[in-house]
Amino acid sequence: MTARKHIAGALLLTGTLLLAGGCGYKTSPVPPDSIVPRAIDDLRYSVSEKGVTLTWTYPVETIQGSDLTEITSFDMYRAVVPMDDYCSTCPIPFSEPVEVHGGIVDAEGRRLATYETALLRSGHKYFFKVQSRTSWWAASADSNIVSFVWHIPAKAPVGVEAKAGDGSVTLRWQPVTRLMDGEKVDYPLRYQMMRSSDNVNFAGLGPAVSENVYVDPRVKNGETYYYKIQSVIMVEENAVGGGLSDAVSVMPRDLTPPVPPGGVTVVRTAGGVKVFWDKSPEADVHGYRVYRRATDENKAQLIGEVLAVYTIFEDGNVPEDKSFYYSVTAYDQMTPPNESEKSREAGIRH
């Protein structure tokens, strides 16, 4: 009987030890820092009547600082909160992620990733964040979080006109009054200028404006610019991007004429009358025009022009029975050219 008790006790003790040795908590494997990508910090979005487009740059380094050659995939997290239930201090209820395909990392060109979705509900606030992966078990930390409010957007501006100025462009368009569904716009409405130099890559130009006119002073004469205008409604201080207008192109041009020439002198010669003047100091002067007015006339008539390398003109068709006054203008290289005011008139010196 005693022997049986000892055997039973030994079996109980062995079983207890086995249970104790097998009850340790197992965690997921931790990937080494040499393969974990740095967190994305430039997640951004653009909203239009079609939905939202999210873009970010491929990470090129691990958290340890070593180079990355490939991102296998991205995890895009989304949260949707009705505006009536929104709480600025509450945790953001992100759902399970959507997988976005990755690819080869381009460190020099800074490869751009894109995610688009049109599954948006009016009157809701959206939040997005993204992680990158180099394998199923090596994911980066969360990116920056972007958020916006979605509402049925306003229609696109129409009747956009662009007028070229001297170092400026003036845009005008018809006011937007309706949403995409035809309902009247009841929220404050703004207009976001978009500008491009190639009619492909458009970027926002300053803050949205409330008037249906905009002057862009940050342009160069002689270069072509393309503009689109996006309607934006403000829903509880949240900007909701709407329709984009058709693109218009314009080339600002120099509208400033040269200063009038000085030192105009007129001398009668055996062959007629010679007109002299001082050379213009302005670099863009292309030529000069010479005008003549009889003493009994009120308006001077153009009688000829010369290129900017010359500062002399000979009038060989001068009636002997009349007296005349001469004046000279300078014109620049623009098409059509900007012409200066006429110089002071000069009479014939005998």
The sign of the CA dihedral 211, 216, 222, 227 is negative
| CATH number corresponding to 265-349 | 2.60.40.10
| CATH number corresponding to 44-150 | 2.60.40.10
Burial of 210 (0-12, 13-18, 19+ CB in 10 A): exposed
Residue-wise DSSP of 106-154: -TTTT-EEEEEE----TTEEEEEEEEEEEETTEEPPP---EEEEE-PPB
Residue 327 in tokens: 């004046």
Report in angstroms the alpha-carbon separations of 185 from 35, 121, 149, 190.
51, 18, 16, 11
Residue whose C-alpha is closest to residue 300's, from 252, 266, 254, 250: 266
Backbone angles phi, psi at 347, to 5 degrees: -90, 170
44-150 and 161-250 agree in CATH topology: yes
Q: How do the pLDDT tens digits run along the chain, 350 residues long?
A: 444 444 444 433 444 434 444 444 555 677 777 899 999 999 999 877 778 999 999 999 999 999 999 999 999 999 999 988 999 899 999 999 999 999 999 877 789 999 999 888 888 999 999 999 999 989 999 999 999 888 889 999 999 999 999 999 999 999 999 999 899 999 999 999 999 999 999 999 999 999 999 999 999 998 999 999 999 999 877 788 889 999 999 999 989 999 999 999 999 888 889 999 999 999 999 999 999 999 999 999 999 999 999 999 999 888 878 889 999 999 999 888 999 999 999 998 65
Residue 156 · residue 244 · CB < 8 Å: yes
Q: Element (H or E) spanning 276, and its range?
A: strand 272-276
Residue 261 · residue 287 · CB < 8 Å: no
CA distance 340 to 143: 59
> What would the pLDDT profile of 260-283 be if each residue is shown by its tens digit?
999 999 998 888 899 999 999 999
Answer whether the bond into residue 157 is a cis peptide, omega within 30°: no
Q: Which CATH architecture has domain 161-250?
A: Sandwich (2.60)
Residue 119 in tokens: 């599954």
CA distance 287 to 280: 9
Q: What pLDDT, on a 0 to 100 scale, did the predictor assign at position 15?
A: 43
CA distance 314 to 305: 10
Residues in a beta bridge with 326: 292, 346
> What would the pLDDT profile of 40-62 be if each residue is shown by its tens digit?
999 999 877 778 999 999 999 99
Q: What pLDDT, on a 0 to 100 scale, did the predictor assign at position 135?
A: 92
CA distance 261 to 342: 8
CA distance 115 to 98: 10
Residue whose C-alpha is closest to residue 277's, from 231, 308, 253: 308
CA distance 196 to 115: 22
Domain spans of the chain? 44-150, 161-250, 265-349
Residue 173 in tokens: 């368009």
